[in-house]
Amino acid sequence: MALALGPRIFGEDEPVIMAIVNRTPDSFFDRGATFTDEAAFAAADRAVAEGAAILDIGGVKAGPGEEVDTAEELRRIVPFVAELRKRHPDTVISVDTWRHEVGEAVCAVGADLLNDAWGGVDPLLAEVAGRHGVGIVCTHAGGAEPRTRPHRVAYQDVMADILERTVALAERAVALGVPRDAVLIDPGHDFGKNTRHSLEATRRLPEMTATGWPVLVSLSNKDFVGETLDKPVGERLLGTLATTAVSAWLGAQVYRVHQVAETRQVLDMVASIRGTRPPAVARRGLA
């Protein structure tokens, strides 16, 4: 089944990059590098030039930190999304939020996708997506509250829990009017999980793809990569790219990332090995 988001339709074998553009002063990776409008627009332009088909705009840091109320999140996100829609009419615009008020406002100015990273904690967000006919990402967070870190979290079977929650969210979204070909499921690496849970979720991705829903993975520079390799945030690119390659081979379709150009090369290489993409150049041994 093709994935249809806003102005774009992606084939089921087409790997898709979702570039992260944070409108926060305290993001864990870039430490606020794209908090200003000028820097954020430049980052969005660069991501599209490097091969991103989706821009994911976030106004609240995922982890604990300074409180950001709804009014402040709206201030950071809505005008930016409105202008971004004008600048990139052929790019899918996603907004990373769990609040239905924010979802309503960004859909009104042109957002194509709501990235609900906290697993439906606000059930009205899916209703907003259905009413506007936009896409939604249904993420597993294990019931965690937004902006909390996992504490002694345990699952009898982590993938069984992921499947139960994400598929239920996806089916509810469709029942509420979200187009079926605009719904994705996400195992939610790090969200409500320890490192072993995230590693298990990665190697069991085929169980998610077997559901028929397109799978999005958000792996970029995350704590499970850092703990696995004992690397700080700024030294997690290689681990992230290794996990990306494995996830691509196992069938994930959409990749939420900080580093677009590097991810594009990894996804292209995996696709060529799989046989769904020809080499960019083929001269060796032919002359």
Whether the pLDDT of residue 109 is over 80: the answer is yes
Give the residue from 269, 160, 168 showing the smallest Cα distance to 204.
160
pLDDT tens, residue by residue, 112-152: 999 999 999 999 999 999 999 999 999 999 999 999 999 99
pLDDT (0 to 100) of residue 36 = 93
Per the annotation, the verdict on 193 as an active-site residue is no
In a domain, 255, yes or no: yes
At 236, is the pLDDT very low, low, confident or very high (cuts 50, 70, 90)?
very high
Q: Which pLDDT does position 50 carry in this prediction? A: 98
Instruction: Label residues 42-58 b or e (16+ Cβ within 10 Å = b).
Output: ebbeebbeebbbbbbbb
Instruction: Let me know if 256 is a catalytic residue.
Output: yes
Residues 6 or more apart whose Cβ sits within 8 Å of residue 107: 114, 128, 129, 132, 134
Give the pLDDT mean for 182-194: 98
Give CA 62 to chain center in angstroms: 13
Give the position of tokens 């609900």. Answer: 116
Mean pLDDT of the chain: 96
In a domain, 5, yes or no: no
Judged by DSSP in three states, 256 sits in strand
Token pair listed for 151? 């504490």
Residue 32: band (very low, low, confident or very high) from pLDDT cuts 50, 70, 90: confident
161 neighbors 210 (Cβ within 8 angstroms): no
- Percent of all residues in the chain with a pLDDT value above 90, rounded to a whole number: 95
What pLDDT does residue 38 have?
95
Asked whether residue 279 is domain-assigned, the answer is no
| Position 199 in a domain | yes
pLDDT of residue 216: 98
pLDDT in tens, 248-263: 999 999 999 999 999 9
Residues ≥6 apart with Cβ < 8 Å to 24:
32, 35, 58, 59, 60, 61, 68, 76
| Proportion of the chain above pLDDT 70, given as a percent | 100
Domain that holds residue 198: 14-274
Q: What is the mean pLDDT of residues 92-109?
A: 98
Domain count, the chain: 1
Q: What is the pLDDT of residue 30?
A: 80
**Annotated active-site residue in 23, 256, 264, 274:** 256
* Nearest to 98, CA basis, from 197, 188, 209, 198: 188
Residue-level pLDDT at 27: 81
Q: Is the pLDDT of residue 28 over 80?
A: no
- Percentages helix, strand, coil for the chain, rounded to the nearest 5? 45, 15, 40
User: Does some domain include residue 286?
Assistant: no
Residue 31 has pLDDT above 80, yes or no: no
Determine, yes or no, domain membership for 76: yes
In a domain? residue 8: no
Reported confidence tier of residue 33, pLDDT bands at 50, 70, 90: confident
Q: Which of 222, 236, 274, 277 is flagged as catalytic?
A: 222
Is 69 a member of any domain? yes
Query: CA 138 to CA 136: how far, in whole Å?
Result: 6
pLDDT tens figures, 142-153: 999 999 999 999
pLDDT at 250: 98
Sheet holding 183-186, edge to edge: 183-186, 135-139, 113-116, 92-96, 54-58, 16-22, 254-257, 216-218
User: pLDDT value at position 1?
Assistant: 74
CATH assignment of the domain containing 261: 3.20.20.20
